[in-house]
Structure 1
Amino acid sequence: MPFAIYILGLAVFAQGTSEFMLSGLLPDIAQELGVSVSAAGALTSAFAVGMIVGAPLMAIAGMRRRRRPALLVFLVAFVLVHVVGALTPSFSVLLATRVLGALATAGFLAVGIATATAMVAPDAKGRATSILLGGITLACVAGVPAGAVLGQALGWRAAFWAVALISLPAVFAVLYLVPEPARPEGDGTLPSARRELRALRRPRLLVALLLGALVNGATFCAFTYLAPLAVGVSGFAEGWVPVLLALFGLGSFAGVTISGRLSDSRPMWVLVPGGIALLAGWALFAVTAQSPAAALVLAFVQGTLSFAVGSTLITRVLYAAAQAPSLGGSYATVAFNVGAAVGPAIGGLTIAAGFGYRSPLWVSASLVAAAFVAAGLAQVVRRLRRTAPLAPARSETAVNTTERP
């Protein structure tokens, strides 16, 4: 793998830390800025929405530039909004920086995936993508806990400063180490964007996007509520929560590594047995959540399976979007973040309805089951489409035969 891809992974690590670090900082932010904790929670939602909306929009905007300048613009903007966030006394301004930071992150990730996959052979997209997604999993393992510790020791603003500082080396590395690929076919104007958007008409791509969103929704539904599950159901002391989260994060890193090795050449080896094991694992976790030992083991196992299957599906999106080399990365980003936003929202609704902290695990199992149902229906529809033209052909032959004198 080119060293420049690892540089892109470093930037994604900083951005992933920013996306998820607020889970441990919201109480302090709410207290200092004079808002409720639930209102402060809008900071997380704003980032997720910004990622979903921003990925295709920023990728289209980036098509008008060469990829290295586009990466630099997005990365510098990301650094600046975190500096503003670290300095502002206003919750409204902080909320705005989260939206702008999400737009910059979405643009960088979309262009970064396109850049990374362009630097490798056509059959190595999965390995290149796994390095970038590995930055997100490392953020879960190290960046988010470190941000929480830093916030507790020096205040939540220190975590924002740390994200900005981590991103600075990536700025210079992108400037000097990331090669500028050849300009893609076309001039980057709106008609080119329209041609790439037509890829969304392909059923194969739409199915891959749906499956990726469902499986990642299951992942983040369980991950979001892992801490209250650990304390309220498994009986862990609060000091054990970082251990459980770290085990899930280590598993996710292992899963991305597995995906990187198999998603290009043997994706079905991951998707079918891995998907079945993932579904069974979420159900088993829900049933045995009261056992601390089971929770520790399953946190690691489910982290591994979730990111192995989820990352492989994201790679399938890139292959299915081969006709959209510039926007394919944004499609993958959208699928990932739709899951990250919708899954926890459904899990929160089940908790609010009184079903307890086990319920997000059942939601996760249901989302994976829905992915299997969707995949099965897609296969049925595909077969029906293959056989459907035969009937009109026979009918036309019959008509022509009867019309002969």
Structure 2
Amino acid sequence: MPVAVYILGLSVFALGTSEFMLSGILQPLAQDLGVSIPQAGLLVSAFAIGMVVGAPVLAAATLRLPRRTTLIALLAVFGLGQVAGALAPTYGVLFVSRVVSALACAGFWAVGAAVAVSLVPLNQRAKAMAVMVGGLSIANIAGVPAGALLGQHAGWRSAFWAVAVLAAIGLVGVVVAVPRTEVPTGADQPRLRRELSIYKDKQVWLALTATAMNGAAVFALFSYLSPLLTKTAGLAESWVPTVLALFGLGALIGTFIGGRVADAHLFPTLFAGISASTLVLATLALTAHSPFAAVALSLMLGVTAFTTAPALNARMFNVANAAPTLAGATTTAAFNVGNTLGPWLGGLVISAGLGYEYTAWLGAGLAAVAVATTFVAFRLHRAPHRSRVVAASGPGVAPGAVSGVELTKEDDAAAGARR
């Protein structure tokens, strides 16, 4: 794996720490700014909204710019956004700083994903994406719990300062290790109209829906994990960083598993991971008052949720192979549609007085929708295969020949992986 891919994963560590750390500092932040827990939870949605809007917009706007220069500029803006968040005097200012940081984060992820997959062969796409997703996993293991500890002992603003330092380190790494790339010219020049054509493919929309619902399922619970642990399971607040670290450890394990198996077994990985997340969330809803169950199932949710992440990313690059920049952008947007929808719906559940355990029931329902969507996509994916078998079995057709049916983009990618 090229060193540049690992540097991109390291940069994503800073981005992921900023995106997820609010789950560990939600309560002190809400108290300091004088807002409710659901209102503070909307800061998670604010970041996700910025990611949803920023990924496709910035990917399109920077389509013909050198990718390395784009990555440097976006990481610099992200770092400044963290400084603004640390200095924010009001909830409104913090909200805006989260959106600005998210716009830069989204653009970095979209362009960085395109760079990562361009540096490896087709049969290592899921592994390359696993390295980048691994940055998010390590953020959950180290960054988020560290942010929670900082929030408890040095104030929630210190967590934002720490992420600003991480962004500066990532910026140096990108400058040093990511190779310069020339802007393609002529027929190879990226064209927005050609890349936008991917949205005519229903498999792209099915992949986006499954990605969004999977993200919503996880974040409906994860955004409110801290109060669930303390107010429902009865754990001391000092346990929160430990449980967040366990979730992150599970995420790292899941990312490793998904990166190893998704290239060869994409749909089985999706089915197994999302179905397992559904089961874990439903079990947590039933056992949320048990401290042991809450801790153990938080670890398991990290494993199941992140096992699917490399597969979801690789699938989008397969079905949108002709538009790698927008493929990365739309995957990022889909993840963060889920990250927006989940905390918002979870906040509605809490505001309705149903209790924090009902965010787990909500997550289980959203995950079930992702399973159903993946099943529809699988059936559509298998249909061309059945058609080719029928066509090839007719009279006058040589064994193994294909008549009247073209290979799909996903088949081309799979064939490249086998080669």
TM-score (norm 1): 0.87
1:8 aligns with 2:22: no
Quickly say closer, same or farther: Cα 1:184–1:218, change in 2 above 3 A: farther
Q: Note if contact 2:23-2:225 (Cα within 8 Å) is conserved in structure 1.
A: no
Q: Which AA in structure 2 matches 1:72?
A: I
More displaced stretch, 224-233 vs 101-110: 224-233
Quickly say closer, same or farther: Cα 1:147–1:110, change in 2 above 3 A: same
Using the alignment, how far apart are the partners of 1:124 and 1:220 within structure 2?
28
What's the counterpart of residue 290 of structure 2? 291
Using the alignment, how far apart are the partners of 1:37 and 1:233 within structure 2?
15
Question: Deviation at 1:260?
Answer: 0.9
What's the counterpart of residue 192 of structure 1? 191
Q: Radius of gyration: which is bigger? A: 1
Q: Note if contact 1:25-1:151 (Cα within 8 Å) is conserved in structure 2.
A: yes
Question: Deviation at 1:230?
Answer: 2.3
More displaced stretch, 377-386 vs 254-263: 377-386
Using the alignment, how far apart are the partners of 1:211 and 1:181 within structure 2?
33
The SS at the match of 2:64 is coil
Question: Deviation at 1:101?
Answer: 0.8
The SS at the match of 1:10 is helix
Q: Which AA in structure 1 matches 2:217?
A: A
Using the alignment, how far apart are the partners of 2:322 and 2:185 within structure 1?
11
Alignment of 1:91-170 (within 5 A): 91-170=91-170
How many equivalent pairs are there? 387
More displaced stretch, 144-153 vs 131-140: 144-153
What's the counterpart of residue 231 of structure 1? 230
More displaced stretch, 307-316 vs 133-142: 307-316
Q: Note if contact 1:126-1:260 (Cα within 8 Å) is conserved in structure 2.
A: yes
Quickly say closer, same or farther: Cα 1:110–1:188, change in 2 above 3 A: farther
Using the alignment, how far apart are the partners of 1:55 and 1:363 within structure 2?
27
The SS at the match of 2:79 is helix
Quickly say closer, same or farther: Cα 1:34–1:319, change in 2 above 3 A: same
Question: Deviation at 1:152?
Answer: 3.2
The SS at the match of 1:327 is helix
Aligned-CA RMSD value: 2.6
Q: Note if contact 1:138-1:253 (Cα within 8 Å) is conserved in structure 2.
A: yes
Quickly say closer, same or farther: Cα 1:176–1:369, change in 2 above 3 A: same
Question: Deviation at 1:40?
Answer: 4.8
What's the counterpart of residue 325 of structure 2? 326
Q: Note if contact 2:41-2:224 (Cα within 8 Å) is conserved in structure 1.
A: no
Using the alignment, how far apart are the partners of 2:314 and 2:381 within structure 1?
21
Using the alignment, how far apart are the partners of 2:293 and 2:29 within structure 1?
34
Q: Note if contact 1:130-1:257 (Cα within 8 Å) is conserved in structure 2.
A: yes
TM-score (norm 2): 0.84
The SS at the match of 1:65 is coil
Using the alignment, how far apart are the partners of 2:185 and 2:102 within structure 1?
29
Using the alignment, how far apart are the partners of 2:363 and 2:185 within structure 1?
41
What's the counterpart of residue 262 of structure 2? 263
Deviations 1:338-373 (A, max 9, x none): 111112222222222232222111111111211222
Question: Deviation at 1:184?
Answer: 4.3
The SS at the match of 1:326 is helix
Q: Note if contact 2:46-2:340 (Cα within 8 Å) is conserved in structure 1.
A: no
Q: Which AA in structure 1 matches 2:177?
A: L
Quickly say closer, same or farther: Cα 1:233–1:156, change in 2 above 3 A: closer
Deviations 1:280-318 (A, max 9, x none): 222222223333333232221221011112432222112
Q: Note if contact 1:314-1:336 (Cα within 8 Å) is conserved in structure 2.
A: no
Using the alignment, how far apart are the partners of 2:90 and 2:347 within structure 1?
28
